[in-house]
Structure 1
Amino acid sequence: MRREYYSDTITNFLITASNEILGELAQGSDFPVEPTQRDAWLEEIRILKNTLQPHKGSIYFEYSIPRMGKRIDVVLIIGSVIFVLEFKVGEKEFPSYAIDQVWDYALDLKNFHETSHEPYIAPVVIATQAKAPSTGISTTPHNDKILLPIKSNEELLDQIISSVLLFTDGNNINPAVWEAGSYCPTPTIIEAAMALYNGHSVEDISRRSADEINLRETSDTISEVIRLSKENAQKSICFVTGVPGAGKTLVGLNIATKHINKNNDLYSVFLSGNGPLVAVLREALTRDKVQREKERGHKAKKGEVMSEVKMFIQNVHNFRDEGLIDI
């Protein structure tokens, strides 16, 4: 499964029409593309076409970070470096949240993406309308080949890429090998819930290949039980066992998010008898949804989002009590 909406060699990217690239990005998107997003993509494409003329490598737009349930604006593989680019189109300043965001992306790739462990990773925030910032290139004190976040505007980006390439060393990255690297995070249940709620699959956030297979097979088996129960007008109960941390709750969340569409005959909710877990999951999903809508240029009231989330994450005791009223 592709992690990005669009990818190609830099050479092909440079000769491909911007509208063709935009079309592929729109086709890959999980949501209707708003005019603001379309314009941002076109601006990113324009800037990168001007910037990348001297370089060879590969480019990836909207690269998925499953553990965080988010996407990197652009990843560049050039020489021995993975560039993580976060664009703030039209911004004149460098928001602290953007710097934190690109730093989190870099850390996530370094720690959890198999083929990103060894190469240098350069996180860059591009505020397109900002005045030329003072730029310095340095690594963390941990000798982990992650550069500290770099600030850039449109005009400086080419210079920054060239400077990073001079600063670093090592063997050139093979893009095909890098793309094939597995993503092996150990998500918390909150991170898993946010990722699943936002459309990622259980395979995306599994910790190891064995986990991926077990979780997928368990989820598929339960889904088949659900389907047969629906077809035959039966009631079924499934017991999932496993050691602590095996992914039992993750299976439940995965099944529920597969059938989250209220108009679907198999519409499902996630029930838990763990009151604190229900409260924490609801709050985390609500905050995440509000933030996502904000990033997409939409205003979302927390109360309205919370009402939607409450329909998905429910306390089994309340569910039971409602059922007893009807008896």
Structure 2
Amino acid sequence: MQSSYYSAPIPQFLGSVDDAILGELTRRHHHALEHEQRGAWLSQIAILKAQLDVNSAGHLFLEFSIPRMGKRADAVVIRNGIIFVIEFKVGSESFDRHAIDQVEDYALDLKNFHLGSHDVPILPVLVATRAKRSPSEPLWAADMVAEPVLIGPEGLAPALAALAPTEASAEAIDPIAWQSSGYRPTPTIVEAAEALYRSHAVEEISRSDADAKNLQATSDRIAEVIEASKHGGRKSICFITGVPGAGKTLAGLNIAAKRAERHEDEHAVFLSGNGPLVEVLREALARDQVVRDGIRKGDALRAVRRFVQNIHHFRDHYLANTEVPFEKVVVFDEAQRAWTSNQAARFMQGRGHDGFDISEPEFLIGVMDRHTDWCTIVCLIGGGQEINTGEAGLVEWLTALQSKFPDWDVHASSLLEDKHYTVDQKAAEMLQAPAIQKHPDFHLSVSMRSFRAERLSSFVSIVLDGDAVGARDQLEELEDRYPILLTRDLTEARTWLRGKARGAERIGLVASSGGCRLRPEGIHVKAKIDPANWFLNDRFDVRSSYHLEEVATQFDIQGLELDWAGVCWDADLRRVDSAWSYNAFKGTRWQQVRDETKQLYLLNAYRVLLTRARQGMVIFVPRGGPADATRPPSFYDETFAFLQECGLPTVA
């Protein structure tokens, strides 16, 4: 993706004829140029020429790429040691909230992901071309990103005369070095899906620095396996592993999107048993396509449903018949969460299939095995992700392959036998089979969920291991970049979250599905959210996460992300005598959970909740109620004290 359509020193821009500038913009546009866009460019050129000083040093970029968002800023001006990000609202007299958030998001995106922008002041400017408004003095945040300046066209010249917030940040910026400094985005899964669905390359929206595993390398290796299977008439299965937030789902979406785009005959599809993730992705992709292409919502949804499907709907379709699948390449997200034979049988019996007695992995492989020539299955395996009764883990996939489908080619991550991905000893032994081909590129080792907290998942694991000393040591590598605070007051938590979010950064409350005694605090975990509205709607919609009224559980939020999260910690997981106590609320009282598998699910529920925030979180631990036997202070105080021992400060 070209970083900008037009780039020139300000004096050169001012000395160029409008048609030449327009021609350069048009030549790089690569799409049919609409009359409205041409008119907007001419208006912007006229305003910039009227407001820029020919004697001023500086540089101008037009249509500057913001890859993570899949968009372009109208203009970027470099002068006085400041990056000015300018958006024009041609024909507008007012400044709507969406436009203000948009220009601020562009500025924050550059600050966080563009290497040349990390340490320089950035001032977002919104120009409503019919407004009469002069600029106010910029209000600079600690990270040197100012609040958006809102002006009419005549206010642009004084806005661009702003000075850097400190003398130390006023050094001249080399515009060419700045432009080419590199971009290391970490998009949310929704942003990534939208970009891939628009046919952007994965390297445009993902980190590619030396410390991060290159998603492109994983995608390329999978493509090699698919091509070998296709040309050799083989059936193959691939197992990709990755730490939480490392980009497994992004890798899977990329594989499905690129195969669907370049090999239409394969009908590649992304399948997930995570209902909220599927719902949110479908809705986001459909809404985006409606805006981009102007098509009807129903038409957009039909197209999206061919690309992203619920794995259970896929299963049910092929359970009802013996037809050969339409799809040749299928990507199964969170494959370790497929059901065991007992869980699948119980579910199927309730649906009238009394004779169903095989695991979900065996059935799904069997469906794809109906092909007489070739096919490829890609399984994405996460560590510490099992949160539901009856989830099979890896062993059911390996057992099915060994006993029922021995002719399949098996390709696996070289870390698949690690304890974080294979807790079953039988599965670990099966992975030693010489026929299983191991690939280092099939493991994604660095978390990309938070651009500030690559070490967050490690910190959370140490906390859940009960190691306060180790957690405190790990926190030292986090606290300057990723704030984690404690509070006993939910109002205080909400205030902190609202104060942290800028632009369209998303905030929300999350809690364990077993946190039933958060209800006196106004947190109702049994009240189901609408995931699409909660994750996608704006701050003006009371159903959205922004309002901090509805709470998402681990089942709602697994695989999805917030920028800032409020984690509400109940007594289902509590510290008692310096160890974790596992509890479930039944009827009118808590009961201790003794089953080791269910204890693991509860730990993993909190693991999911504590790794959802990209930028920081506040943990709310209630004080309890002395007169309420279901939530006495003793159920919460030791947990709070332990988290303090882990080094977490309280909200100031």
TM over 0.5, shorter chain:
yes
In 2, distance between residues paired with 1:143 and 1:235?
Answer: 55
Point out the more displaced range, 24-33 or 257-266: 257-266
Gaps of 5+ in 2: 323-652
Point out the more displaced range, 94-103 or 11-20: 11-20
Structure 2 counterpart of 1:63, which letter? F
Q: Structure 1, residues 140-172: CA drift from partner, whole Å, max 9, x if none?
A: 3x432222211122222122212x148764101
1:202, distance to aligned residue in structure 2 (A): 1.7
Residues 60 and 128 of structure 1, relative CA distance in 2, 3 Å threshold? same
Q: Structure 1, residues 9-53: CA drift from partner, whole Å, max 9, x if none?
A: 223323333333333323333543222112211221222223223
- Asked whether the 8 Å contact 1:79–1:172 carries over to 2, the reply is yes
Structure 1 counterpart of 2:298: 303
Gaps of 5+ in 1: none
Q: For 1:124, what is the secondary structure of its paired residue?
A: strand
Within-5 A mapping of 1:237-252? 237-252=237-252
1:102, distance to aligned residue in structure 2 (A): 0.7
Point out the more displaced range, 36-45 or 2-11: 2-11
Structure 2 counterpart of 1:188: 188
In 1, distance between residues paired with 2:97 and 2:49?
Answer: 27
In 1, distance between residues paired with 2:145 and 2:79?
Answer: 15
- Asked whether the 8 Å contact 2:63–2:72 carries over to 1, the reply is yes
Structure 1 counterpart of 2:27: 27
Residues 257 and 16 of structure 1, relative CA distance in 2, 3 Å threshold? farther
- Asked whether the 8 Å contact 1:137–1:148 carries over to 2, the reply is no
- Asked whether the 8 Å contact 2:76–2:83 carries over to 1, the reply is yes
Point out the more displaced range, 152-161 or 219-228: 219-228
Q: For 2:242, what is the secondary structure of its paired residue?
A: coil
In 2, distance between residues paired with 1:232 and 1:186?
Answer: 37
Identity %, equivalent residues: 51
Q: For 2:201, what is the secondary structure of its paired residue?
A: coil
Q: Structure 1, residues 96-151: CA drift from partner, whole Å, max 9, x if none?
A: 21111111111121122221122111111111111x214212223x4322222111
In 2, distance between residues paired with 1:255 and 1:210?
Answer: 22
Residues 193 and 17 of structure 1, relative CA distance in 2, 3 Å threshold? same
Confirm or deny that 1:199 pairs with 2:194: no
Structure 2 counterpart of 1:37: 37
In 1, distance between residues paired with 2:313 and 2:128?
Answer: 48
1:212, distance to aligned residue in structure 2 (A): 6.1
Structure 2 counterpart of 1:98, which letter? A
Q: Structure 1, residues 43-95: CA drift from partner, whole Å, max 9, x if none?
A: 21222223223432222222222222222111111230101001111112222
Residues 21 and 248 of structure 1, relative CA distance in 2, 3 Å threshold? same
In 2, distance between residues paired with 1:282 and 1:182?
Answer: 31
- Asked whether the 8 Å contact 1:66–1:200 carries over to 2, the reply is no
Residues 78 and 180 of structure 1, relative CA distance in 2, 3 Å threshold? same
Matched pairs, number: 319
**Which of 317, 326, 331 pairs up with 1:322?**
317
Point out the more displaced range, 279-288 or 84-93: 279-288
Q: Structure 1, residues 222-241: CA drift from partner, whole Å, max 9, x if none?
A: 22333344444544332222
1:211, distance to aligned residue in structure 2 (A): 6.4
- Asked whether the 8 Å contact 1:113–1:181 carries over to 2, the reply is yes
Structure 2 counterpart of 1:10, which letter? I
- Asked whether the 8 Å contact 2:11–2:55 carries over to 1, the reply is no
Q: For 2:271, what is the secondary structure of its paired residue?
A: strand
Q: For 1:238, what is the secondary structure of its paired residue?
A: strand
Within-5 A mapping of 1:109-124? 109-124=110-125
- Asked whether the 8 Å contact 1:135–1:150 carries over to 2, the reply is yes
Structure 1 counterpart of 2:123, which letter? A
Structure 2 counterpart of 1:86, which letter? E
Residues 78 and 304 of structure 1, relative CA distance in 2, 3 Å threshold? same
Q: For 2:133, what is the secondary structure of its paired residue?
A: coil
1:282, distance to aligned residue in structure 2 (A): 0.9
- Asked whether the 8 Å contact 2:124–2:146 carries over to 1, the reply is yes
Structure 2 counterpart of 1:276, which letter? P
In 2, distance between residues paired with 1:20 and 1:78?
Answer: 24
Q: For 2:93, what is the secondary structure of its paired residue?
A: coil
Residues 195 and 30 of structure 1, relative CA distance in 2, 3 Å threshold? farther
- Asked whether the 8 Å contact 1:114–1:184 carries over to 2, the reply is yes
Residues 208 and 139 of structure 1, relative CA distance in 2, 3 Å threshold? farther
Confirm or deny that 1:126 pairs with 2:121: no
Structure 2 counterpart of 1:147, which letter? A
1:254, distance to aligned residue in structure 2 (A): 1.2
Residues 229 and 211 of structure 1, relative CA distance in 2, 3 Å threshold? farther
In 2, distance between residues paired with 1:166 and 1:242?
Answer: 42
In 1, distance between residues paired with 2:24 and 2:219?
Answer: 31
Residues 32 and 229 of structure 1, relative CA distance in 2, 3 Å threshold? farther
Point out the more displaced range, 279-288 or 179-188: 179-188
Residues 241 and 167 of structure 1, relative CA distance in 2, 3 Å threshold? closer
Q: For 1:143, what is the secondary structure of its paired residue?
A: coil
Residues 117 and 62 of structure 1, relative CA distance in 2, 3 Å threshold? same
Within-5 A mapping of 1:271-290? 271-290=271-290
Structure 1 counterpart of 2:124, which letter? P
In 1, distance between residues paired with 2:235 and 2:80?
Answer: 58
Structure 2 counterpart of 1:153: 152
Q: For 2:202, what is the secondary structure of its paired residue?
A: coil
- Asked whether the 8 Å contact 1:85–1:123 carries over to 2, the reply is yes
In 2, distance between residues paired with 1:135 and 1:172?
Answer: 23
Point out the more displaced range, 13-22 or 260-269: 260-269
Q: For 1:173, what is the secondary structure of its paired residue?
A: coil
1:252, distance to aligned residue in structure 2 (A): 1.1
Point out the more displaced range, 254-263 or 302-311: 254-263
Point out the more displaced range, 115-124 or 229-238: 229-238
Structure 1 counterpart of 2:103: 102
Give the strand-richer structure, 1 or 2: 2
Structure showing greater radius of gyration is 2
Structure 2 counterpart of 1:236, which letter? S
Confirm or deny that 1:209 pairs with 2:222: no
Point out the more displaced range, 117-126 or 61-70: 61-70
- Asked whether the 8 Å contact 2:208–2:214 carries over to 1, the reply is no
In 2, distance between residues paired with 1:270 and 1:253?
Answer: 6
Structure 2 counterpart of 1:257: 257
Please give the TM-score of this superposition, normalised by the length of structure 2.
Answer: 0.46
Residues 211 and 167 of structure 1, relative CA distance in 2, 3 Å threshold? closer
Q: Structure 1, residues 170-224: CA drift from partner, whole Å, max 9, x if none?
A: 1011112211223233332222212322333222222351366621111112223
